[in-house]
Structure 1
Amino acid sequence: MSDPALLSATALAGRFARGALSPIEALEAVLARIARLNPRLNAIIALDEVGARAAAEASAARWRVGLPLSPLDGVPFTVKDNIAVAGLPCVWGSPIFRDFVPERDELPVARLRAAGLVLLGKTNVPEFTLQGYTDNPVFGPTRNPWDPALTPGGSSGGAVAAVAAGLGPLALGTDGGGSIRRPASHAGLLGLKPTPGRVPRCDGLPAILLDLEQIGPITRTSADLIAVMALLAPPDPRDPLSAGFSPFAVPGAVRPQRILFVPRFGANPVDPDCAASAAAVAARLATLGHQVEEGEAPFTMELLAGLFTPVGQAGLAWLMAERGGEPSAPMLREMAAAGRALSGADLFAAVQGIAAFHRRMAGFFAAHDLILTPAAAALPWPAEQVAPPIIAGQPVGPRGHAVFTNFANLAGLPGIALPGPPSATGLPIGVQLVGPPGADGLLCALARDWEAAVPWAERWPALD
């Protein structure tokens, strides 16, 4: 592969170690690709060329003397624009935060920089990262590299568009209800939502979704995913949720897993291409030796909505009271108004319900190892449109495409998006695997085994 911008993170690092490529050359290739493609995609909304070049030069000097800071020293990465980066804007998709520039890196960013990785810049998000597409009144819409007329989803839409287009091999995203897994599925990538605390957090934006939201990596290959998680995962005393974790490890061999395949949640419609792709993945996992059983979800959509909705409403209402102003999007203004109408008892009831849901799902995993579902119920839709109004011929609400993912956030479970067979028109389609708390290493191992069985990393969108 002649263009270094199209190499994976681990492939780049291997060339750095052999002296076949320098971090400076790799960075310049990525910057050239950003200059060529980002104006079409609007994935990266703040670029730090000066800082990136300085970091690449320092990395090159370390590799020359054989003293890299980590196995990924010198690899470029991007950061979603609701994760704090010192000295760069953190706009969060909102005019209210247009001038906000953090003084400190959030911990995962600090860890990657301390490991020598080269920070390129920030990727686009929807306002307050509370919607499932990527557009906002400050920067406008991000476009899917597989079809720039369409959205890459959200809220990590800029992050997946960057990786899918070769604008850096790694991205940090956040997932509060599926915001890594669904966009990764729309872009043909891997995306991991870790167990709460597995990737420690501190020095970030207000946690308006409490601990439902985690930071996780978005990559093209499983080797990259595993390498980044090794850097992100050590516990930190500033995040009490991280205290109980043992060192991050990925099993070398995975025993056959008991997988419950849930092709749809209740009566919610699923696009036929998405349904067919998920069924094909389920069948292939069975041929790989796993015990795959089709069944229904061990919860209802009404239960999930009753738990998730008040948290987001109250969090947004609190943020608006703290910062002043109102969201730009009508849907978010309605959400904030609903949050202001909630009582403390309402929010406490939701928190208690979430705790009960944790216990309920712990019981489920006594009889099953994993849940397999489509990652999204719809294919990507027009980039300027909030959500698809119709799925499989049925009218749906603004979250109709997003029904499969937020149960993992509510139950504190890790989940991973894996590429499945694409649509009839070639659009990427993903599935998600969700495991019990702490199964992050197992999910990474399953991604490794799935990639070996069904390779996808050499499939690129035809942007050039």
Structure 2
Amino acid sequence: MELWQYDATDLARLIRTGRASATEAVDSVFSRLHKVNPAINAVVRIMEPEARAAAETADAARARGHALPPLHGVPVTIKINVDMAGSPTDNGVIPLKDFVAKEDSPVVANLKHAGAIIIGRTNAPAFSMRIFSDNALHGRTLNPLDPTVTPGGSSGGAGAATATGIGCIAHGNDIGGSVRIPAYCNGVVGLRTGFARIPSYNATAANAGRPIGAVLMAVQGPHTRTVRDARLALEVMARGDRRDWRWNDVPMRGAPPARPIKVALVPEFPGCKTHPAQAAAVRQAGKHLQAAGYVVEEILPPDLERGIELWHAIIATESHAGLWPNMQKMGDPDGIAAMRAWLDVFKPVDLATYMGALTEREGMLFRWMTFLQQWPLVILPTLADLPPKQVSDTTVEGQTAIFDSMRPALIAPLLGLPGLAVPVGRSGKLRTGVQVMAMRNREDLCLDAGEVIEAAEGVVVPVDPATA
């Protein structure tokens, strides 16, 4: 087995015990990158000289007998929308192509502190605002399982890189599904962390601040090929950074819930048509958990349909006021068309309605916290439908269908809850998949359940890019 095929946990062990070097690991991953990346365009800024220098430093540290951090020598990737010192935070926008950051964002600093070696930056749509990772600056990322459909967004480059073996861990972020949707589309594992779990801060944008909906809903998280790597990446990424006032210093494992753990299944999300393969994936995940001793029942959590309306009222209104003018000024034609279609379907609301939506959101949170006391886990489809065809969001009809499919993905960000996307089953060339949700700060419960599902379904292995 070649080094690029290992997950982060095993590769770190090989390097720590001297059975492989960081230089060998980086060489292997770059060999893989140069073979498959031209076919999918997942990594759009390749950092080969920097990574090779970091690997040499890592090997020298081991030779001197230094204590080694948990990801020592492990190759990882970073999305193009967070700050990394010496690299542009371009977010897929041509006028920002030289917008070079002077310091690392917390998630980048934490990965470096853990010994990870950054091999490149992964693609996203302009301003990270579509589920298609396509922009005028870097071009289009293709799904390695089926290039005719989206690799997801906005962290589509991260998901595609992970699926093809370009690095063990790929950083992403999520305000409406942007970690979980690419994980689903590419058939890998993706962890959307809960509110305040991983510190998040971009010095390049700090003075401007962010609207309250984005503050409450946007989080960082990893893409991996194994659930244990998602757990390891979470522990590394969640290291404290007081630049983010929200960061919450809580244990990685919470108090044991009452046993047996009860799981609420939502195979068909209300208000839209759920593809039969996705509904079957949810039920299959329930069977895996039931076989492991969980108590599983199909039951609806509170306010699902109203929650979708609240997400749009908050995020569409904030985006119309802040991002939409910048998109019109600096975005690419498809990004502009997609955002216009979204705002035509889900129109921004007035101030009173916006404030009312934020207030109602808190009431919904209280009801969900009561529900999660009884049902600590909720399993839904990641998307209600199969991944959409490339560039199908630039019309009102196309965007309506996509946001119908996205309905299950919007609840976790609305409420600031963690969600773990795990592959379950197949549909043709594609993997189907579910998301496992839990209470805030209970990523451990999601990961525990994810490991049960993974044990039954099999561990994800890297794929070669498919042809249309």
Question: Could you tell me how far 1:349 is from its partner in structure 2?
Answer: 2.5
Give unpaired runs (5+ residues) of structure 2: none
Residues 245-266 of structure 1: CA deviation (Å, up to 9, x unaligned): 3232389999432111011222
Q: Could you state the TM-score of these two structures normalised by the residue count of structure 2? A: 0.90
SS of the aligned residue for 1:428 comes to strand
Question: Could you tell me how far 1:121 is from its partner in structure 2?
Answer: 1.5
SS of the aligned residue for 2:171 comes to strand
SS of the aligned residue for 2:170 comes to strand
Question: Would the aligned equivalents of 1:433 and 1:443 in 2 still touch at CA under 8 Å?
Answer: yes
Residues 424-462 of structure 1: CA deviation (Å, up to 9, x unaligned): x24111101110111112222222233233322336346
The answer for the alignment partner of 2:221 in structure 1 is 216
Match status 1:359 vs 2:373: no
The answer for the alignment partner of 1:120 in structure 2 is 119
The answer for the alignment partner of 2:414 in structure 1 is 410
SS of the aligned residue for 2:303 comes to coil
CA pair 323-374 structure 1, distance change in 2 beyond 3 A: closer
The answer for the alignment partner of 2:383 in structure 1 is 376
Residues 299-319 of structure 1: CA deviation (Å, up to 9, x unaligned): 142442234333243235324
* Residue among 216, 227, 232 paired with 2:232: 227
Residues 151-176 of structure 1: CA deviation (Å, up to 9, x unaligned): 21111110000000011111110010
The answer for the alignment partner of 1:179 in structure 2 is 178
Question: Would the aligned equivalents of 1:106 and 1:202 in 2 still touch at CA under 8 Å?
Answer: yes
CA pair 317-95 structure 1, distance change in 2 beyond 3 A: farther
CA distance in 2, matches of 1:231, 1:437: 18
CA pair 337-417 structure 1, distance change in 2 beyond 3 A: closer
CA distance in 2, matches of 1:387, 1:15: 47
Question: Would the aligned equivalents of 1:132 and 1:153 in 2 still touch at CA under 8 Å?
Answer: yes
SS of the aligned residue for 2:322 comes to helix
The answer for the alignment partner of 1:437 in structure 2 is 440
Residues 407-436 of structure 1: CA deviation (Å, up to 9, x unaligned): 11111111111110111x241111011101
SS of the aligned residue for 1:174 comes to strand
Q: Could you state the TM-score of these two structures normalised by the residue count of structure 1? A: 0.90
CA pair 42-298 structure 1, distance change in 2 beyond 3 A: same
CA pair 349-403 structure 1, distance change in 2 beyond 3 A: same
Matching of residues 293-332 of structure 1 within 5 Å: 293-319=297-323, 325=329, 327-328=331-332, 329-332=336-339
Question: Would the aligned equivalents of 1:307 and 1:351 in 2 still touch at CA under 8 Å?
Answer: no
The answer for the alignment partner of 1:280 in structure 2 is 284
The answer for the alignment partner of 1:28 in structure 2 is 27
Farther off after superposition, 347-356 or 43-52: 347-356
CA pair 88-339 structure 1, distance change in 2 beyond 3 A: farther
Question: Could you tell me how far 1:334 is from its partner in structure 2?
Answer: 5.7
Amino acid at match of 1:220: R
CA distance in 2, matches of 1:251, 1:17: 32
CA pair 234-293 structure 1, distance change in 2 beyond 3 A: same
Larger helix percent: 2
CA pair 387-407 structure 1, distance change in 2 beyond 3 A: farther
CA pair 307-166 structure 1, distance change in 2 beyond 3 A: closer
The answer for the alignment partner of 1:266 in structure 2 is 270
Farther off after superposition, 171-180 or 347-356: 347-356
The answer for the alignment partner of 1:60 in structure 2 is 59
CA pair 251-226 structure 1, distance change in 2 beyond 3 A: farther
Farther off after superposition, 298-307 or 53-62: 298-307
Question: Would the aligned equivalents of 1:96 and 1:323 in 2 still touch at CA under 8 Å?
Answer: no
Question: Would the aligned equivalents of 2:341 and 2:395 in 1 still touch at CA under 8 Å?
Answer: no
CA distance in 2, matches of 1:458, 1:233: 26
The answer for the alignment partner of 2:355 in structure 1 is 348
The answer for the alignment partner of 2:94 in structure 1 is 95
Question: Would the aligned equivalents of 2:310 and 2:361 in 1 still touch at CA under 8 Å?
Answer: no
Q: CA RMSD of the aligned region, Å?
A: 2.8
SS of the aligned residue for 1:397 comes to helix
Question: Would the aligned equivalents of 2:263 and 2:378 in 1 still touch at CA under 8 Å?
Answer: yes
